[in-house]
Amino acid sequence: MKRVFPRMGSVDLGKILLGDRAAEIAEAAVILPALFMLLLSIYWFGRAYMIYGAINHAARAGAQTAAVPAGCANCGASGTWAGSTLPDDATVVQSVNSSLLAAHLDPSQAVPSTPNPVPRPCPGAEPEGICSQASGGQFTICRNMQLNQGESSPPVCGVIISFQYPYQFVLPFTSLNNQKIQLKAQVEMRAED
């Protein structure tokens, strides 16, 4: 028995449904969603990389602010900040926040993280090295810490700024939409003379 398909004007529906064009439509229906997923993935991974760069830049700006004491009288060879006035936490937080805002990121989403490896205070440094969460609890600021741990050379003292920023992929049909990943920023900077 021969199949009979209706004709719609000059188009023979039977040739479309049973011919090569139907296979092309089916292939496109399979390939196009995968292609769009690939394009969206490239975009969202690029955005994650941009945010990672922006939070590292913000941490670097905060570390630079914290590492340059005003009126540093005894810095340098002694490795101490005695007699100097360090910028307070609010000044460091303001520096980090302004960098995050310049990158169109919300500073209130930042959460503190413990520096890795765990820093230790610089030997003989004054004031003694401490790690604390800045006001608001968004960033971990470690001052007067030894940056070259495990090396035999003289200790290098500095600051460490550390925090995490959440990021969520938005891809259809995946389980990544349910998970937030934490992008970590940690910057060490030697104390300025």
**DSSP code per residue over the chain:** ------EETTEEHHHHHHSHHHHHHHHHHHHHHHHHHHHHHHHHHHHHHHHHHHHHHHHHHHHHHHH--BT-SS-STT---TT-BPPPHHHHHHHHHHHHHHTT--GGG-EE---SSPP-BPTT-SSPPEEEEPTTS--EEEEEEESSTT-SSPP-EEEEEEEEEEEE---TTSGGGG-EEEEEEEEEEEPP-
**pLDDT value, residue 183:** 94
Per-block mean pLDDT, blocks of 10 residues, the chain (193 long): 60 60 78 88 92 96 84 49 69 91 93 86 74 80 83 81 90 72 92 69
pLDDT of res. 78: 45
Dihedral of CA atoms 68, 72, 74, 75 in degrees, nearest 10, equals: 10
pLDDT of residue 179: 78
pLDDT of residue 10: 61
